Chain A
Amino acid sequence: MSGTNFNTVKAFAYRLIANFWKQKMYIFAEVLFWPLMFLVAFGLLIKTFSADPTVINYILAASITWRITTVFQQSVNMGFLLDYWNETMRQTWVAPFHLKEYVIGNSMLGLLSGSVTFLVSLVVAWLAFGFSYQPLWLFVLTIVIMAVWGCVIGVLILATTVRVGEGATRLAWVITDIIVLLSGVFYPITMLPVPIQFVSHFLPSTFLFQMLRVHSFSPVLMAGSAVMVVAYLVLGMALLRYSVNHAKKVGRLVRFY
């Protein structure tokens, strides 16, 4: 594969952002309303049961982190859904681009709206609940890796959608929530049935949240999570390439319109 063309990345970023900029209600709901609504709900809930600031700070940090992860996953999938909803699939796919440019470009909506959501959430968590996670850099580093993990989940969903067809677009809206359950975000994974715990060990998010919960950095867990994310990314891109070739065989890029 040749180098990344900046103009191509810009194309996908531009289209996604321009399209959603015209839907002000959508922006309000996705960037402000839902994230803050969940943040406040979780904050109030945890304050009811615990006065321990390390616990309160963890729950707030975890809920902000998940929101950002979801934003990135949805952003990566949104480019494909946009083509699906508008019946522009074949128009887009006859134009020249590499798959990595497609993924990076489409994740830019996530970067933009995720940054806004993150900053507003920080301010609201601080004002409403005195949020101050320590060490802050661990929280920020976790969010960065989780953002990439969100994109990778997006790529895996994308590969599945291109391979099996329309029905899988629904996956886009539930898969990260399933991964929340499996990664033990709001409870330790030891509370899960043993076979499910086994699956949890294949998710980088499991180890990132383990660190976040005890407020302490572990080089092994951090490096391990990062390596896992990269491994899933390589796997996801290979699957996506395979799915696109399959779609060309059965004519799906044309039938999706």
Chain B
Amino acid sequence: MHAIKARNVVKVYDDPSGRVKALDGVSFEVDKGEIFGLLGPNGAGKSTLINMITGLISSTSGNIKIFGKDVATDWYSVKEMTGTCFGFARFIYFMTGRENLRFFGYLYDMSDHEIDKRIDELAQTLRLSEIDSRAGTYSSGMTQKLSLMKGLLHNPKLLLVDELTVGLDVDAAMNVRNVFRQVQRDEGTTVLLTTHYMQEANDLCNRIALISKGKLYALDTPKKLKRLARDYDVIEITLKQAKKAEAIVRRQKGVLDVFVGKDRLVAKVSSSEKSLQPVIGGLLKKGFMFTNLKVRKPMLEEVFLSLTGQSLGGEWHEF
């Protein structure tokens, strides 16, 4: 039995502004005990998919089963087995973190003793010492931690996470990722998370599904996915006025494609041996100064681009 089994899931929103096909026939399975990532840019349909797994949104057609239970017909059992963490979640403003969690603890049929024990344990792991302050006074990072505590409160078999590390500082994000690894290892929890950070997907997930415009393009381990793009190299240059440099680089020998970010230019080349000289030479001749240069194999970002024709968005060059 799979932790999640999605079959031909379609979601069409009938908006006043028109029909939006947010998901277009998505099928996949998540194995018990794995960390599974949904990677895709904003608007790909990740949140829609995760909300359909929780049952908050019903599917237009197709079906989703969680440990064999159909979300559409057995919503209650599915909700008992899953914990959900939303990035940018809110909590009741006037109540403390602990009081907010107590409410959820009762809903998950826990006793006061169980609830307090679990809260103290999780607050320590996540280093949230303000658990007895009003949730309304929390910073966004503290709220994200509370959201994670809420998801893990009842030791769910399946943890669903939607963009939880967005807005966390590097340290806190790392801590959160470690918690996912820890519950996977110690409690056998299955984790499904969405992200548009490819490095996060790469480092954390056992398997990744690449999703764009409501379609699933590929599903495999990060290693195997990267092999899909091994027949070319990437030259990454840090320089001012990257936009201007683009046209020059594009003209050079063996350059297949060029992507420009802030102060950063990435060239996809058939072979770095053939293209490095002309690319650098061309830029130097025009007086460009660069502060960093990297030649590497393609990463998930480039795999994503070549499969979907779409970039992961503004953050792709951050890692």
Closest chain B CB from A257 CB (angstroms)? 6
Chain A contact surface mostly: helix
Q: Which of A82, A93, A96 contacts B80 (CB 8 A)?
A: A96
Mark contacts of B51-95 with chain A using CB atoms, 8 A cut-off: 1 yes-contact digit, 0 otherwise.
100111110000000000000000010011010101001111111
- Could you say which residues of chain B place their CB within 8 Å of the CB of A8? 106-107, 109
Determine whether the beta carbon of A257 is less than 8 Å from that of B90: yes
Q: Is the CB of A88 within 8 A of B92?
A: yes
Q: Does A253 belong to the interface (CB within 8 Å)?
A: yes
Cβ–Cβ < 8 Å partners of B217 in chain A: none
Inter-chain contact B106/A7, CB cutoff 8 Å: yes
Question: Is B14 in contact with chain A by the CB < 8 A criterion?
Answer: yes
Q: B86 — which chain A residues lie within 8 A by C-beta?
A: 90-91
B-chain residues with CB within 8 Å of residue A100 when the two chains form the complex: none
Residue of A nearest to B79 (CB): A96
Q: How far is the CA of A21 from the CA of B82 in the complex (A)?
A: 31
- Output the residue of A10, A18, A98 with the most chain B CB within 10 A: A18
Scan A1-12; emit 1 where CB is below 8 A from any B CB, else 0: 010010110110
A134 to B56, CA, bound (A): 52
Chain A 203-257 interface residues, beta-carbon cutoff 8 Å to B? 245, 248-251, 253-254, 257
Q: In chain A between 170 and 189, which residues have their CB closer than 8 angstroms to a CB of chain B?
A: none
**Is B106 within 8 A of A11, CB to CB?**
yes
A15 touches B92 (CB 8 A): yes
Check B79–A88 contact: CB distance below 8 A: no
Contacts of B54 in A (CB 8 A): 94
A86 touches B107 (CB 8 A): no
Given A91-B89, A95-B107, CB of A254 within 8 Å of CB of B94: no
Question: For A245, what are the chain B residues with a Cβ–Cβ distance below 8 Å?
Answer: 58
Q: Which residues of A contact B150 (CB under 8 A)?
A: 91
Bound complex: CA A253 to CA B75 (Å): 14
Nearest to A101 among chain B residues (CB) is B107
Given contacts A11-B103, A14-B102, contact A96 B76 (CB under 8 A): yes
- The chain A residue with its CB closest to the CB of B78 is A96
| A19–B102 alpha-carbon span in the complex (Å) | 12
- Considering the complex, which residues of chain A in the window 148-163 have a beta carbon less than 8 Å from any beta carbon of chain B? none
Cβ–Cβ < 8 Å partners of B56 in chain A: 90, 93-94, 248, 251, 253-254
Instruction: Check B94 against A19 for contact (C-beta < 8 Å).
Output: yes
Report which of A15, A86, A254 forms a contact with B57, defined as CB distance below 8 A: A254
Is there a chain A Cβ closer than 8 Å to B288's Cβ?
no
Measured between alpha carbons, how far is A5 from B76 in the docked complex, in Å? 12
Closest to A1 in B: B76
Contact of B51 among A10, A97, A254 (CB under 8 A): A254
Residue of B nearest to A15 (CB): B103
Q: Which residues in window 82-128 of B have CB below 8 A to A?
A: 82, 84, 86, 89-95, 99, 102-110
- Distance in angstroms from A170 CB to nearest chain B CB is 21
Across the A-B interface, give the 3 residue pairs with the lowest CB-CB distance, nearest first: A11-B106, A96-B79, A95-B107
Given contacts A14-B103, A98-B76, could you give 16 more A-B pairs where the C-beta distance is less than 8 Å? A14-B106, A15-B103, A18-B95, A19-B92, A88-B91, A91-B150, A94-B56, A94-B82, A95-B107, A96-B79, A97-B107, A248-B55, A248-B58, A249-B58, A250-B14, A254-B56
A interface residue numbers (CB < 8 A to B): 2, 5, 7-8, 10-11, 14-15, 18-19, 22-23, 82, 86-88, 90-91, 93-98, 245, 248-251, 253-254, 257
User: Can you report 18 residue pairs joining A to B where beta carbons are below 8 Å apart?
Assistant: A7-B109, A8-B107, A8-B109, A11-B104, A14-B103, A15-B92, A15-B95, A15-B103, A18-B99, A19-B92, A88-B90, A91-B89, A91-B90, A94-B84, A96-B107, A251-B51, A251-B57, A254-B51
